[in-house]
Amino acid sequence: MTLAKAYAAASASAPLAPFQVERRAVGPHDIQIEIAYCGICHSDLHQVRDEWGGAKYPMVPGHEIVGRVTAVGAHVKGFQVGDLAGVGCLVDSCRTCPSCQRNFEQFCEKGAAFTYNGFEMDKKTPTYGGYSSSVVVDEAFTLKISPKLDLAAAAPLLCAGITTYAPLRRFKTKAGDKVGVVGLGGLGHMAVKIAAAMGAEVTMLSTSKAKEADARKLGAHHFGLTSEDLTFKKLAGQFDLIINTISAPHDYNKYLGLLRLEGAMVLLGVPPEPTPVAAGSLIFGHKVLTGSLIGGIKETQEMLDFCAEHGIVSEIELIPVQQVNEAYERMMKNDVRYRFVLDMKTL
């Protein structure tokens, strides 16, 4: 057991503050990682503020973790001390159920061990995330990070990257497909980059006119301002696929109208309240409305390798850990360009 420095929330209304967590002794299959950087996902904010219910405190958020290996267990095969390593949203699962066997550990039938605000597979040891100086994780849930990528900017790939890559792959995105990305934040900007790298014709759909130039720089071919009704008329029936990353309640029906015959909209954002969907929005044109949750470990590694090959990382604002509460406030105001990453040296 070692003590690690961390930042934690003591309750739904408390700001994050310095804290210490116990990390387990390095077991035979474990890897100890000195955390260099950790991204701030909007899910961190939803969970810290208990917007989804069931939050466990003290909570050390953070599931976009990158760093260097400082110790390995006797049976670890794939990592050595000094290697780069990453940890995303998952730290364990049962590994034998049908979901795990299909590489969907996030849907483990025994309940996956999420990186924070959850429990290890014993269902009693709390998990603490990456706003911390170190972490101990089983090798099977540790990802390899290419040294070709800027390490701090690669951190958000561990959640924002895989969460957008997975549905783009599931819908077999290819050259010429028309993909709409809704919401230009952490997830949205990764969706634009990855869809563009897959050859899609990408349209950014945003409430923020001020983000248009950035959207184009990120790889979007078109921009639609969603605060204007005309945008929904002009773009009606256009898209093969819409990746919807909006974190707040909004009208799904309007966006379903933008899909072509048999087009699909994938919900990634998790607004705290449900939103009604009219049957007609789906019936006319055989539209598909679905969701997607992060991605399994195998696909996360595939995404990291894809990003290394295409030179894709996140656009980040690197901040000292002491500014985390301010970063949350800015995220609430849609003022993220386009992912905050905590520099753990400052802890």
Question: Which residues contribute to the site for ligand NAP (CB under 6 A)?
Answer: 41-43, 46, 159, 163, 183-188, 206-208, 211, 245-248, 250, 268-270, 292-294, 331, 334, 336
Rounded Cα distance between 321 and 327, Å, is: 10
Picked from Zn ion, ligand NAP, none, the partner binding residue 132 (CB below 5 to 8 A depending on kind) is none
| Min separation Cβ 320 and ligand NAP, Å | 19
Smaller CB separation from ligand NAP, 122 or 273:
273
Backbone torsions φ then ψ of 114, nearest 5 degrees:
-80, 155
Picked from Zn ion, ligand NAP, none, the partner binding residue 108 (CB below 5 to 8 A depending on kind) is Zn ion
Smaller CB separation from Zn ion, 44 or 240:
44
Rounded Cα distance between 33 and 226, Å, is: 42
Cis peptide bond prior to 98, omega within 30° of 0: no
Smaller CB separation from ligand NAP, 34 or 251:
251
User: Distance from first CA to last CA of the chain, Å, rounded?
Assistant: 20
| Min separation Cβ 107 and Zn ion, Å | 8
Smaller CB separation from ligand NAP, 236 or 248:
248
| Min separation Cβ 159 and ligand NAP, Å | 5
Q: HSE, CB side, 13 Å, CA atoms: give it for residue 24.
A: 16
| Min separation Cβ 79 and ligand NAP, Å | 25
| Min separation Cβ 321 and ligand NAP, Å | 18
The length of the chain in residues reads 347
The tokens describing 36, both together, are 């260099």
Torsion angle, alpha carbons of 103, 109, 115, 119, to 10: -150
